[in-house]
């Protein structure tokens, strides 16, 4: 078996644009095209174009598709109407997070589960195992789709110029089939940037045509191609968790401050779902003795915190750990997300620092997100 990285349908195009490529979860992906800061700022003020074809699509169909998903995932998938999507998670029996997901209800008995690239096989294997006894089919559709995102305040206008689909009627976390630049697509109003935007699921053979059409349509309003590096700083500013950083198998959704995604009262499958008992215990514990909380940290100096750096109090006692850190182009200062002891988690808590190579650098504790767009 070859260990060569997988290539998206747009690989040759990225290279022709001079992209710096990187291995990400076994895929060769564009890290940046030119300046990460320019790409980040384009998404905040105009628009950016992303290849997200490394994400893992899994289709679940059949009369009991919804029952399977309600059993396999922590959310209530029965309450998702056709054409809508839901953010949810798949957990282990012990409540640890296997992945965070978006589930789209495409039709009455057809759902698409979108997993993170590095977890797609794990999620596929878990859903397949959990499908035992349900009248439902789990299908690996990772090779059936390319995924292109256009994100930023100019994205609705750009997309409107190449589709007749009703974008005004398309709510956040909804998806509808349509034709974009002559290409059949599932048009979803979703994203990972903190801005308005769309994710377009298309056949890999149509990806290049769609990318070129969006590039041309967006050029007059400042759209540029964007890589994974600015996607990370955009999601960090927006306070969005990244699997492997803010979310891991060692944490439950309640540890991550995302207990709201766990629905103990589900309609179609009672309240029996994988991880139910462990998550009920985690929910109770979070109310009485809250674990470490996920907070934002803003640097007073210039040094950038990185994942794994200890968070300390005024005495140098370790009170937490950084999960993600980067310079924030929007704030003009280094920022981080970190899990810290509840006693130090309130916004404005004094005396909190990050140990950067043996020196405690001062940080301000803030509520997440760092950045929220004006609607």
Give the DSSP letter string of 146-210. Answer: EEEEEESTTHHHHHHTTB-S-STT--TTBEEEEEETTEEEEEE---SSSS-EEEEEE-GGGHHHH
Mean of all residue pLDDT scores within the chain:
96
Q: 312 - beta bridge partners? A: 318, 353
Does the pLDDT of residue 83 top 60, yes or no? yes
CB neighbour list of residue 345: distance below 8 Å, 6 or more residues apart: 292, 293, 295, 365
Structure confidence by residue, pLDDT tens digits, 197-206: 999 999 999 9
Tell me how far apart the 2 most distant CA atoms of the chain are, in Å. Answer: 63
Cα distance between residue 185 and residue 172, in whole Å = 17
Query: 53 and 146 in contact (C-beta within 8 Å)?
Result: yes
CATH 2.40.30.110 positions along the chain are 293-366
Architecture label for domain 6-53+145-237: 2-Layer Sandwich (3.30)
For residue 6, which of 58, 53, 59, 57 has the smallest C-alpha distance?
53
In this predicted model, what pLDDT tens digit does every residue of 326-374 receive, in sequence order? 999 999 999 999 999 999 999 999 899 999 999 999 999 999 999 999 8
- CB-CB contact of 197 with 150 (8 Å): yes
pLDDT of residue 137: 98
Pick from 232, 284, 233: nearest CA to 24: 232
Identify the architecture of domain 56-142+252-271 in CATH.
2-Layer Sandwich (3.30)
- 1 pLDDT above the threshold of 70: no
Task: Kindly state the percentage of the chain with pLDDT values over 70.
Answer: 98
Query: What is the per-residue pLDDT across 230-239, written as a single tens digit (0 to 9) for each?
Result: 999 999 999 9
pLDDT band at 268 (very low <50, low <70, confident <90, very high): low
Span(s) in the chain for CATH 3.30.70.1400: 56-142+252-271
Question: Is residue 267 scored above 90 in pLDDT?
Answer: no
pLDDT at 293 over 90: yes
Alpha-helix runs per DSSP H in the chain: 11-16, 36-45, 65-72, 120-130, 155-160, 207-218, 228-237, 276-288
Which residues, 6+ apart, have CB-to-CB distance to 123 below 8 Å?
56, 58, 90, 98, 99, 101, 113, 115
For 138-144, what is the mean pLDDT?
A: 98
Residue 95 has pLDDT above 60, yes or no: yes
Dist CA 202 CA 175 (whole Å):
13
At residue 289, the pLDDT reads 84
Q: Which pLDDT belongs to residue 361? A: 97
Please state the rounded mean pLDDT for residues 124-138. 98
Domain with CATH 3.30.1360.120 in the chain: 6-53+145-237
How does pLDDT run across 317-328, given as a tens digit for each residue? 999 999 999 999
Dihedral (CA of 371, 147, 34, 307) sign: positive
pLDDT in tens, 170-188: 999 999 999 999 999 999 9
Handedness of CA 276, 277, 278, 279 (dihedral sign): positive
Indicate whether 271 pLDDT > 90.
Answer: no
pTM (2 decimals)?
0.96
What pLDDT is attached to residue 131?
98
Query: pLDDT tens-digit profile of 3-31?
Result: 789 999 999 999 999 999 999 999 999 99
User: At a CB cut-off of 8 Å and minimum separation 6, what does 370 contact?
Assistant: 236, 237, 238, 239, 296, 298, 328, 330, 331, 335
Q: With a cut of 90, say whether residue 290 has pLDDT above it.
A: no
Superfamily of domain 293-366: Aminomethyltransferase beta-barrel domains (2.40.30.110)
> Would you state the pLDDT for residue 265?
87
């Amino acid at each position: 078996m070859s260990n060569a990285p997988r290539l998206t349908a747009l690989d040759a195009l990225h290279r022709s644009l001079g992209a710096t490529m990187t291995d990400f979860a076994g895929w060769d992906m564009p890290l940046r095209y030119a300046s990460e800061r320019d790409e980040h700022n384009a998404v905040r003020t105009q628009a950016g174009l992303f290849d997200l074809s490394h994400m893992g699509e899994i289709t679940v169909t059949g009369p009991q598709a919804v029952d399977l998903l309600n059993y396999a995932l922590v959310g209530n998938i029965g309450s998702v109407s056709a054409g809508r999507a839901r953010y949810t998670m798949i957990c282990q029996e012990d409540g640890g997070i296997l992945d965070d997901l978006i589930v789209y209800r495409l039709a009455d008995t057809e759902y698409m589960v979108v997993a993170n690239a590095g977890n797609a096989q794990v999620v596929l294997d878990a859903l397949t195992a959990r499908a035992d006894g349900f009248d439902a089919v789990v299908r690996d559709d990772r090779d059936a789709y390319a995924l292109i995102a256009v994100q930023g305040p100019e994205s609705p206008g750009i997309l409107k110029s190449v589709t007749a689909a009703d974008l005004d009627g398309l709510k956040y976390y909804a998806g509808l089939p349509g034709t974009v630049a002559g290409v059949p697509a599932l048009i979803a109003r979703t994203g990972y940037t903190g801005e308005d935007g769309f994710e377009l699921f298309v056949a890999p053979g149509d990806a290049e045509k769609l990318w070129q059409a969006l590039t041309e349509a967006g050029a007059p309003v400042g759209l540029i191609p964007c890589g994974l590096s600015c996607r990370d700083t955009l999601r960090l500013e927006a306070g969005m968790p990244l699997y492997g950083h803010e979310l891991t198998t060692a944490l439950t959704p309640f540890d991550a401050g995302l207990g709201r995604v766990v629905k103990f009262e589900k309609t179609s499958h009672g309240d029996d779902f994988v991880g139910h008992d462990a998550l009920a215990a985690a929910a109770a514990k979070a109310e009485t003795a809250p674990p470490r909380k996920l907070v934002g940290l803003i640097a007073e100096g210039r040094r950038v915190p990185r994942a794994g750096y200890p968070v300390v109090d005024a005495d140098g006692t370790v009170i937490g750990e950084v999960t993600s850190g980067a310079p924030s182009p929007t704030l003009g200062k280094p920022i981080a997300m970190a899990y810290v002891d509840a006693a130090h988690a309130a916004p404005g808590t004094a005396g909190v620092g990050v140990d950067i190579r043996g020196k405690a650098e001062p940080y301000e504790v803030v509520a997440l997100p760092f950045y929220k767009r004006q609607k």
